[in-house]
């Protein structure tokens, strides 16, 4: 296994992304946004739960 510097690996990844398009990147961004919104809504709404003590 050969050792590639981080810059070379990053350049290879950027080249692959240009060839493939932005489909995978957009999918990842959308999934992270949806999960973030769901977690934020849960965090904010959990304080409104009525406690019957």
DSSP 53: -
Condensed to tens digits (0 to 9), the pLDDT of residues 22-39 reads 788 899 999 999 999 999
> Which residues 6+ apart lie within 8 Å of 12 measured at CB?
4
Which pLDDT score is estimated for 51? 67
Which pLDDT score is estimated for 41? 95
Which pLDDT score is estimated for 11? 73
CA gyration radius, the chain:
20
User: Which of residues 18 and 35 earns the better pLDDT score?
Assistant: 35
- Residue 12, pLDDT > 60, answer yes
> Which residues 6+ apart lie within 8 Å of 25 measured at CB?
17
Find tokens 């946004």 and name the residue: 33
């Amino acid at each position: 296994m050969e050792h590639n510097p981080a810059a070379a690996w990053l350049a290879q990844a950027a080249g692959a992304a240009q060839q493939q398009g932005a489909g995978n990147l957009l999918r990842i961004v959308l999934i992270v946004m949806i999960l973030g919104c769901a977690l934020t809504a849960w965090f904010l709404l959990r304080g409104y739960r009525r406690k019957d003590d």
